[in-house]
Amino acid sequence: MTDQFEDKAVIVTGASSGLGRAIAKRFGEAGANVTNADIQPDPQTGGTPTHEAINEADNDGEAKYVETDVSSKEDVQVAVDATVSEYGSLDVMVNNAGVTKIAPAEEMDLDDWRWVIDVNLTGVFIGSQIAGQQMLEQEDGGSIVNMASMMGEMGLQKRSPYCAAKGGVINLTRTLAVEWAPEDIYVNALAPGYIYTDITEQTQDSADYSNEDIRRRTPVGRYGTPEEMAENILFLARDDHFVTGEVLHADGGWSADGWGYRE
């Protein structure tokens, strides 16, 4: 399944920590050359930077880091240009970077709203646009995978900008897929449910629910893992599946469940 990524050039935004780190490392294992386009190189919880971990691993992939604010068109252009200069092309773009702000809608600061929308939605458009321009110029197709969320298709209290942004990502994905399908550029999205990352425990105190609440609400009875999400991303990044404009829900059955809570 992953042989087709050998020597391919991949950008993963927000790859310093969490899902992005797992995704970037999995592409490296598959033999891809990976650019981590993140605002900082080091994981939020410390440890080896993602690009160094890939380069130190026993695989054929190489990696580099490019400081990138995904809401800046200039920064994203620099990341794409650096990738093409180093690796000769851009074959896969994973728009993963994301942020959130938690507050009741009536108290949500407008600057916080704009920040979440700028990173989670506008950043995905900028990344897709510049990657799409490069892929069109190459005339060899490509894959763009956007990080959505199951919350893009349902509501969650105190997350109005996050839910709005992820809903936008879902329809943006469909629109770009239709526009670029004739040029063999596949555009899909992954919509994770609750995924246990290295910062989950640090942020749980700000939530209105417990880990046990999530376990009971999720039909498979647990969080997902970053490694599982990375496998889903690699599937969507392939170009041999006749799938474009789709949103893959990787939420342990959450969005399919009409009952909603169990002991």
Active site members? 162
Distance between CA 182 and CA 244 in Å, rounded? 11
Helix (H, G, I), strand (E, B) or coil at 30: coil
Distance between CA 86 and CA 63 in Å, rounded? 10
Q: Are 163 and 156 in contact (CB under 8 A)?
A: yes
Distance between CA 101 and CA 86 in Å, rounded? 36
Angle between helices 160-180 and 110-117 (to 10 degrees): 30
The tokens describing 234, both together, are: 């690699």
Distance between CA 137 and CA 202 in Å, rounded? 43
Q: Are 242 and 185 in contact (CB under 8 A)?
A: no
